[in-house]
Each structure stands twice: as C-alpha cells, then as structure tokens.
Structure 1
Amino acid sequence: MENGNGPSSCCNGNGNSNGAPSPPHVAMLVTPGMGHLIPLAELAKLLASRHGATATLVTFASTASATQRAFLASLPPAVSSLALPPVDLSDLPRGAAIETLMSEECARSVPALTDILLRLRRTTRLVAFVADLFGADSFDAARAAGVARRYLFFPTNLHVLTLILHLPELDVSVPGEFRDLAEPLRLPGCVPIPGPDVLMPLQDKSNPSYKWMVHHGAKYREADAILVNSFDAVEPGPAKILRQPAPGRPAVFPIGPLIQADRGSSDGPCPCIEWLDRQPDRSVIFVSFGSGGALPTEQMRELALGLELSGQRFLWVVRSPSDEGAVNDNYYDAESKKDPFAYLPEGFVERTKDVGLVVPSWAPQIRVLAHRATGGFLTHCGWNSVLESLVYGVPMVAWPLYAEQRQNAVMLSEGVGAAIRVPESKGREKIAAAVREVMEGEGKGAAVRAKVAELQKAAAEGLREGGAAATALAEVVGTWTCGEN
C-alpha cells in the first residue's frame, strides 16, 4: 500500500504529462528493522534533494508497525513506499534467528518484488534497484524485471562488510567456531577481532543464520556497487583497502554518515529535553540500548548501581529485562514488555533523583545527543547510534549486546579510539569507572573526547558538496544516464 506520495507517472517511463523527461527513479528494498529503514530513507531523501531523483521504499509485511507507518508517512513527496504481501514463515523453527527470518522473508518475496519492479518500470524512469544487507536475494527479482543497475546498501560499517565479503573463503579456512579461535581474526585493513566478538550470527556454524550469512557474502558480489553508511576517518584501514579495485568484488563507496536528519523539535514539549535544559553543559551521560535492546536483570541492576556510584548525571532509557528471551527481544517492537521500574534496585530512583532521570522505553535520541548538556553516551554500539554519536560529537561507553555490536565495540575502542568499553564482567565498580573516565578522565577519557571531536569534523566535511561522501554518491548517480532502461 502506498503512503500517498506515489512516484511520478509517465508514458513508458520516458516523460510526464508535459512531455518533460521524468526524474530518475530508484526502488529500495528495506529488510526489517528501523535501523535498516532510517538510513535507506535518508539516502532516498538525499538522492531527491541533491540529485533530483525520486524513490520507492519497498517494505516487508512483518514490520508494518505503527512506528514504521508514521515514519513512512512523514517522508517528502519524492519518496513513496510500497509494502510487499505477507509470506508464510510458519515452517521455520520457533526461536529462529532474526537474520534467518529476514533472509527467508526476502527470498520468499522475490516473485512479488519482481511484479512491483515491473510495475515501476512501466510507470517511472526506473534507473536502479537498491537492496540492503539481508536482501541480496532480491537481486534475482531486479534481474528478472530488467532493472539496469543493482546496488547493495550496507547500513553498517566497512569492518563488517569486509568480514561478510570474506565469509565464503573463511567458511572453508576456519575449521571450528569463531569463538574458539586462539588468535584474533585478522582481515585486510581491519582491527583484529577476537573470536567471541565476531558477528553474532557467525558464532554457531550449525545455526541456519550462519549459512545465510555465507550465502549473502557470495551474493553481494552480484551488485554493481556497494554503498556503505560509513566514512573514511572512522575506519581508515578498510576504507583504503576497499577503495582499491579487486577482481570479482564490486566497487565500494562510503557515503555516510547518513542519520535521521530531523531532530523532532516540532513534536512539542518533552520531559527528557526539559530536564536536560536544566543541566550544565556536557555533564550528562545518556544511557540507551537502541530500539531493540534489553539487559538481563542482574546486568540491569549492576548498571543502575554503577551509574549511582559514578557520581555523574545520567539520562537512562530503561526497558524490562531480557531474562525470558534474548537481548534482542525488542527488535520488532521497541516497547518495554513490563514495567521496567519494578526491576530497578530498591530506592534507586529516589536516591538519584537530583542527578538522574530514568524514562521508560524511549527517548528522542537525536535531540538528546544534540543537546549541549549531553557529554557521553553509554550505547549498545548499534551502527546508527554510533554514527549519531559521532555526528553530534558525543564520546561513547561501549556495552554491546547482539548482531555486529561486539565487533563495532572492538573497532571503536581498540581501533579508532572513540569509545571506552565496559569490561565483560559488567560489575558496578567497572561500570562506574568507565562512565567517569569518558565523562571527565584526563587519560584515556581525554583522548576519546578529542578523537570524537575530530571525527565529528571529518563527518561534516565529507557530507558537504565536494566532500568525500558527497563525491562518492555523485559518482554513482553519474552512471544513471537517460534511456538505460
């Protein structure tokens, strides 16, 4: 169902009712998760505002949430949306990994997607198809529909892309489990990744999600190019390697950071922001585990006591714990399942009321990170959150949960030096020490704060006209010439 801002109609896709050429149109497949939708939508908006293109975001029935519908309805007229019909996944085992669910849903949607692309070819000047990281099987639909150019949009970083591109050969050369590797995994240009920190869906080779990731690694090579939501300064090693042409590998274009541009300031009063307005500059650590993360009860308790022990001001988005499920239980639904305050240590909220604010389920993250009072971010290291933190110059305390987050935490803390990682034990004293260090430490904390300020500047420069990211995207758009369809 379209959001009401449909793509321009034209006769055979060559012109509009006035006879003028139609704008180039791009179809984009969004696999489930707001973390996939938001950067792709920002790419679509950028293509419209800077390059005069229109776009259709194609979404899956499994994620037709109220949040997603509201987001799609807020997009400019140049960006429309269509939902694929539901597919039956009832034959998959209960508890199937998210990566498996997304990959299966995409593969089973290829016939319906082919029909949508054929329709778009008739009604628009469809110049390209873009799939995101779990949607590589949709290249089959684009090929069947005769779409001239097929791109992969990779919403996470160059380290993870390098790993997935190497997976078919690693599948053969690494005999046991990644978590049991005696030495860190070393890939061209990348920070060495200890085995237990390697991408979570690769940690059990008997799980179908592992086989899917190997499959995607091979399928990515069918793309004409790979667009990556990252930038050179945060990952200089793999950026240098991937910029060099390689046989059988698509060209790679870092075009980030693409983050949600609208801070939501028109949404009216917000208790979080009103509270931040009363705090000193750079004095508050923001604590949030993204739209899908939740902690086990014991870690939630230690975090509360660690924040209290740190003596720092804090704003904490809290959800009920994940003991009865996985740490990614909220992936499809960000709302807390139960009253999260019932799981906090007795008296915690009352004891910390002068320095802390605890809010259930959600806070306007962009507005919080952009606020002058925010001086640190305790984050799960989801890549969208990382990029938002860097764009607004907020140093990080890394507390990864799932997906590629542990790998991101290694890259941020051991590689570029933009974060301090909480030790695995997650004890309150160590949590307090990490928080204090990133907020006011004169050693490693000072270095992290300086590095983040440097990366903030590099990110802004790359996105300006003539900057590295803007130039990379313009190079891709430059291949969309009249009549290629």
Structure 2
Amino acid sequence: MEKKRCIAMIPSPGLSHLIPLVEFAKLLLQKHNEFIITFLIPTFGPLSSSMQSILNTLPPNMNFTVLPQLNNIQQDLPIEPATQMKLIVKNSVPFLIEEVKSLISKTHLIALVFSMFSTDAHDVAKQFNLLSYLFFSSGAVLFSFFLTLPNLDQSANTSKFLESCYETVNIPGVEIPFHVKELPDPILCERSSDTYKSLLDLCQKLTLFDGVIINTFTDLEQDVIRVLQEREKLCVYPIGPIIRKESNNETNMEVCLRWLENQPPSSVLFVSFGSGGTLSYQQLHELAFGLEISGCKFLWVVRVPSKNSSSAYFSKQNDDPLEYLPNGFLERTKDKGLVVASWAPQVEILVHESIGGFLSHCGWSSTLESVVNGVPMIAWPLFAEQKMNAKELVDVLKVGVRAKVDDENGIVKRDEVVKAIKGIMEGDESLEIRKRIKELSVGAANALSEHGSSMKALSDLVVKLHDY
C-alpha cells in the first residue's frame, strides 16, 4: 500500500508562532486532505497549558511530537525573545534529525515547513533531499525589509550602522519610508551583538527555501506582494489571512461575553497586548487613568507590570495583576468597564458586535484578527516588529491611530490615551477609519473565497508538493 504524503512543520517556540502554523495546516488539509501533517515542536521546558490544549485537539491527519527539552541551556538563553527562539531551535537540530529519519521510515515525507525563527534547521531538509518552505507568520512588509537587510549591512561601516548611516529606510513595495526607530528592535543593537547577528543570519537564509508562505493577502499588501513575486529565485505564496476561528482557552470566556451582551453596538474598546506583552507600572497607571478620563466603555486584559515589555512571553506570572491598578480604579469604572486578569478570549471578543475599537500591541496575528472583523485599531507597539506593523496600519493602510509616546520618558501619557480613544471611537476621523477597515475586511473574505487570490496561491503551492 502506498504511503500517504507527509509534511512536517517545525514551529518556532511560543504560542504566537504555533497558532498560525496550526491554522495554516488546518486550511491546507481542509482544501487538500490527501496529506498528513506532523508538528515537530522544539522547546526548552514544559509546554504551556495553552500550547498543550492546541496540540491535544488537532484534527485527523494531524499529529505532533515534542522534541526533548533543552533544560541544559536555560541559563544561557538571552532575554530578547527572537534570539531565544532561534537558539532553542538551533540546539534542537540533532533531535529534529532523528524525528525526520523516523518519519521517512513510516511515511512518504516530502517537505519540511519552518517558522520564522526555525531557519537554523533548514539544512535538515537539504540533508534528506526534502522540499523546504518558510512559513512567515508576519506580513509582507516585514519580509521585504528582511530581504533588504543583508544589502544594508554590507554597505555599513559603523557598529550601529542603521542609526549611524541612515535616518530612514526604503522598503521595496512601500511608498512611505520607515524611520530607523520604527524597525525591529534587534536592528538598533550593536552589529557585534548576538541579537543583531542572529537576525542578520536569519535574513541571509530567507532565499534558500523552495518557497515562502506569507500570512497576508493581496488587498492588504498589494504593492509589496507584487514586488516580492517579481523577484528572481523567490517563490512567494500569500495565503492569508490565517487566524484562529475560536479561542483555545476558556478562561474569562463567560464573564467577557456576558458583559459584552449588555453593551450597545460598537461601543466598547478592547484593550489587550497579546500573549506576551506587558507594561511598566507607570505605564499601566497612565493607561488606567486614560481609560477612566475618556469615559469610553472598555474591556481590558491586565497583566502584572514589568520593565521588560515581553516578560510574559515565556514566563508564567503568578501575582494578581488587578492588585497593581490605581487605588479605587475598579470601583470608579465599574459601570463603564470590565477588567480581567492575564487572558481573555480575543477571537470571540473581536467578532462581537459590541466591540468598536481595539487597543493593540500590533502583533501580526492580532492585526489580522482586527482587519478580518473590521475593527479599527489604536496602535501601541511594545517589542519585536510591532512598531513596523503599527506604522503600516496607521500611515500606509490608514485603519488606526497611534498612541503617541512622550519622547522624554517613553510613556504614553493619559491625555494621549484619551486622544487616541476619541480618534477611533468618535468624530469624522473615526468614520473614515471604519470605512477603510471594512473595505479590507471584505477583501480578506474575498481572498479566502473559492476563487480568491489566497486560495489560488494555496493551489499553486499544492501543485509543487504533488510534483515532487
């Protein structure tokens, strides 16, 4: 009996990278169920309950193997999340090789699909003569910049080359230049730092793959996608928007949805900073006072404050975050807002008719969820590539407003919070923003329709898989 064609997917560590890859796998099997898919999960410790829940509920034709934990490197991991993830995958390559050998013996393994920070495992595909694809869970603008970075680096002659050599950077396919400080955090590091060298190494490997699958769609990033597809030796498949259909965790589900049912349509601002974002103590208070002064209805997911804006990405927080709010805040705002600790069912919240705006860290998954549901955004980036996403949302797509940061202390003050809220919840500017994001929402639905651009890209990818 002929073995079924198998595709192995290697996600970068962390919930925000696992979710879009799992959703892509579901989409692929929904349209082309002749494949089986196995996830090979690198990790340096036990999986979070959310990750375990996702993996334990995979549909038929999908399974997973968690690679051995890398407990011995835990002390050596850098603070910066992207560098952490890349190092974890690099140290997991020997285990990955053994699993690939096992899959080859049991199945007709044809391809490996790598997440963004799993590029160090690319040689495994080459070693076993397998197709290799990069699943890029962020947008085409970021991917276009990453392709440009090695050329920028070659022309540099200073230790902090972007800050020293350039004030702005032009990204192929984008009319508006990006200020250096709007680029991903590692760009601002010394060129000799592990963080910068890790990102540069990733960017230098992007053209080695047989194809790049990008979680975006034509109407959202049309010019950038066109420029990418015109490049030689680069097969780009824009197959988005790939987002969750339902939350994998029911924590605070009932309380949030019950509260939203009692609110008027488009009246509530949803405030959340993704699966890992955190605010400092001072910023937490400024945001709280801004929400209170605005008088706007809000649903806020609060985390324990930290000076490290990505502190919740890998670490579990045990304190009660509500204890860190300003004295009397919950009592004073009980008729206007709902505050929940640590987690909320974002998928179900953003689709609810009571939601009128989304104050977001601008992670790409959250950005796509907001676009699909036609919810305008207040851009409040914290780390990684989120400043680039914010720039794209506000200045290129014009579907949101930016929470302006005070130059002296790096804090968004309460009066700026109020101004941003009114910018998307009230007035003529709000109406224009809503009109534009509703148009993008329609474009997203069209892209995933039977003859839409994303479904065509997916079909083109499947043809390549079948021909191998």
Asked if TM exceeds 0.5, the reply is yes
Q: Is 2:301 the partner of 1:301?
A: no
Equivalent of residue 443 in structure 2, options 442, 450, 458: 458
Equivalent of residue 259 in structure 1, options 233, 243, 261: 243
* 2:367 aligned residue: 386
Amino acid at match of 1:276: L
TM-score, normalised on structure 2? 0.93
The 3-state SS of whatever aligns with 2:170 is coil
Aligned runs of 1:41-190 on 2, under 5 Å?
41-52=22-33, 53-62=35-44, 64-87=47-70, 90=73, 93=76, 95-147=78-130, 149-174=131-156, 175=158, 176-179=160-163, 183-190=167-174
* Alpha-carbon shift at residue 90 of structure 1 (Å): 3.1
* Alpha-carbon shift at residue 452 of structure 1 (Å): 0.8
For 2:198 and 2:241, how far apart are their aligned partners in 1? 27
Contact 2:216/2:240 (8 A) holds in 1: yes
* Alpha-carbon shift at residue 67 of structure 1 (Å): 1.6
* Alpha-carbon shift at residue 62 of structure 1 (Å): 2.4
Contact 1:286/1:376 (8 A) holds in 2: yes
The 3-state SS of whatever aligns with 2:304 is coil
Contact 1:381/1:398 (8 A) holds in 2: yes
Contact 2:403/2:420 (8 A) holds in 1: yes
Equivalent of residue 283 in structure 1, options 262, 267, 271: 267
The 3-state SS of whatever aligns with 1:385 is helix
The 3-state SS of whatever aligns with 1:477 is helix
For 2:169 and 2:340, how far apart are their aligned partners in 1? 39
Aligned runs of 1:320-339 on 2, under 5 Å?
320-323=304-307, 326-333=308-315, 335-339=316-320
* Alpha-carbon shift at residue 470 of structure 1 (Å): 0.8
Q: Over aligned residues, Cα RMSD in angstroms?
A: 1.9
With over 3 angstroms needed to count, the CA separation of the structure-2 counterparts of 1:102 and 1:267, relative to structure 1, is closer
The 3-state SS of whatever aligns with 1:479 is helix
For residues 90-123 of structure 1, the C-alpha deviation after alignment (integer angstroms, 9 at most, x for no partner) is 3864644222221122122222212211211221
The 3-state SS of whatever aligns with 1:294 is coil
* 2:409 aligned residue: none
The 3-state SS of whatever aligns with 1:315 is strand
Amino acid at match of 1:187: I
Once the two structures are overlaid, the 10-residue window that deviates more, 90-99 or 223-232, is 90-99
TM-score, normalised on structure 1? 0.90
* Alpha-carbon shift at residue 237 of structure 1 (Å): 2.5
* 1:431 aligned residue: 417
Contact 1:114/1:142 (8 A) holds in 2: no
Amino acid at match of 1:349: L
For 1:228 and 1:350, how far apart are their aligned partners in 2? 45
Contact 1:265/1:367 (8 A) holds in 2: no
The 3-state SS of whatever aligns with 1:261 is coil
For 2:249 and 2:78, how far apart are their aligned partners in 1? 39
For residues 38-89 of structure 1, the C-alpha deviation after alignment (integer angstroms, 9 at most, x for no partner) is 1100111111111112201111132622221111011102110011112355
* 1:4 aligned residue: none
Q: Is 2:226 the partner of 1:240?
A: yes
For residues 306-335 of structure 1, the C-alpha deviation after alignment (integer angstroms, 9 at most, x for no partner) is 111111100000011013xx11000024x5
* 1:395 aligned residue: 376
User: What is the number of equivalent residue pairs in this alignment?
Assistant: 457
* 2:208 aligned residue: 222
Amino acid at match of 1:168: P
Amino acid at match of 2:202: H
Gaps of 5+ in 1: 1-10, 16-21
Q: Is 2:342 the partner of 1:357?
A: no
For 1:27 and 1:199, how far apart are their aligned partners in 2? 29
Once the two structures are overlaid, the 10-residue window that deviates more, 365-374 or 52-61, is 52-61
The 3-state SS of whatever aligns with 2:86 is helix
* 1:472 aligned residue: 457
* 1:369 aligned residue: 350
Contact 1:30/1:58 (8 A) holds in 2: yes
Contact 2:23/2:242 (8 A) holds in 1: yes
Contact 2:269/2:299 (8 A) holds in 1: yes
Contact 2:10/2:115 (8 A) holds in 1: yes
Contact 2:12/2:85 (8 A) holds in 1: yes
* 1:18 aligned residue: none
Once the two structures are overlaid, the 10-residue window that deviates more, 403-412 or 189-198, is 189-198
Amino acid at match of 1:37: L
* 1:421 aligned residue: 402
Q: Is 2:431 the partner of 1:446?
A: yes
What percentage of aligned pairs have identical amino acids? 37
* 2:184 aligned residue: 199
* Alpha-carbon shift at residue 478 of structure 1 (Å): 0.8
For residues 167-208 of structure 1, the C-alpha deviation after alignment (integer angstroms, 9 at most, x for no partner) is 211112244343456532112112421111111122102321
With over 3 angstroms needed to count, the CA separation of the structure-2 counterparts of 1:172 and 1:88, relative to structure 1, is farther
The 3-state SS of whatever aligns with 1:270 is helix
* 1:33 aligned residue: 14
